[in-house]
Chains A and B, each alone.
Chain A
Amino acid sequence: MPSFHDTATSQAPPEQVWKLLYDPSRFPDWWAGVGTVEVGGEGHYTMYPDGYPDFPMAQLLGTERDSQRVTVSCLVSDLRFEWRIEPAGPGTRITVEVEIPDGEAHRLESQRGVISESVRRLARLAAEG
């Protein structure tokens, strides 16, 4: 299964990054390619890609009792994004691991670009408070 990871450091404290990461309604503010989001319950939300308001993509934001990560899974294409934050001095290190199913392997390079831009946007936005 194709996979990659990316990382960025934000000057913001962990709680500022955390608020953006755990609130899907804020994803359009930093996640590249996300146009709008409709939040449901229990971690479910629907994402509409930028420029494609007629293409709903069901997503699930999940947490696990035994880990400090938040996982975003696309329920349409099965892409999986696992985000972690950890304190880094006065700021925060943000890490994301991405798994792409074999059937979507052609999206590897485009996803690298999307995630690289997104993780840096997240770091900047958190620092703006």
Chain B
Amino acid sequence: MLRGLGRLEEARSAVESERALAERLDQPALLAMASHDCGMVALAEGAYERAAELLGEALLERAPISRPLTRLALAEAQAAADDPDAAEEQVRATVLEPLGPSDFPDALVPRLARVQGLIALARGADQEAARRLEESIAGWERLVQRAVKADSISSVLADLGRPVVGLVEPERELARAKADLEQIQKGSSDALVS
């Protein structure tokens, strides 16, 4: 929740406490869940290599996390850490994961398209990146029109039995995809000027 609000220092403090408790209890599922939460905060902070390490650990055990969403977050971290091949492997693994309601299947498509865009960007394939980001933006725009936040919250509570995790916020995702695309377009125009 704190991560979603952009209060990253407080979020980091909270997940570090969570991780310390999980280590004390020494239960693999709790440790994996704490790794997931720490990894998501690291990703938001731009600590991509650390995020990739933590999110990778989260996938090792049966934790109450969304595996497809975690794989996509891991792929995003790997792409940002300049490892597009590993990121592509995670994208492929994502689509072979079973899906449940708390994975928000309808939101996975634009989310995956954005990560494909980031992978293309890491490879220097700007045109491909722009195409994937436009695909993602179109998908999020459709979701913004019909999103009901209460449904998302109840899906997570019912499916994973824990408070809001991986909640889909189409407006926020749309803004992120647009910002990514603007960066590419700005990069292209800068290249033309220089």
Contact = CB atoms under 8 A, between A and B. Distances in A.
Interface residues of B, number: 25
Interface string B75-101: 000000000000000011011111111
Interface stretch (B13-21, B105-113, B186-194): B105-113
A14 B151 contact: no
Given A15-B94, A41-B106, A41-B151, 19 more contacts: A14-B92, A15-B91, A15-B116, A19-B109, A22-B106, A39-B106, A41-B147, A41-B148, A42-B151, A43-B106, A61-B105, A63-B103, A64-B98, A64-B99, A65-B98, A65-B159, A68-B98, A85-B95, A86-B96
22 contacts: A14-B95, A14-B96, A15-B94, A15-B95, A15-B116, A19-B112, A22-B106, A22-B108, A22-B109, A23-B106, A23-B109, A41-B106, A41-B146, A42-B101, A63-B100, A63-B105, A64-B98, A64-B100, A65-B100, A68-B98, A85-B95, A86-B96
A70 to B, nearest CB: 8
| List of 9 A-B pairs having minimum Cβ-Cβ separation, nearest first | A65-B100, A18-B95, A63-B99, A23-B109, A15-B95, A14-B95, A63-B105, A68-B98, A19-B109
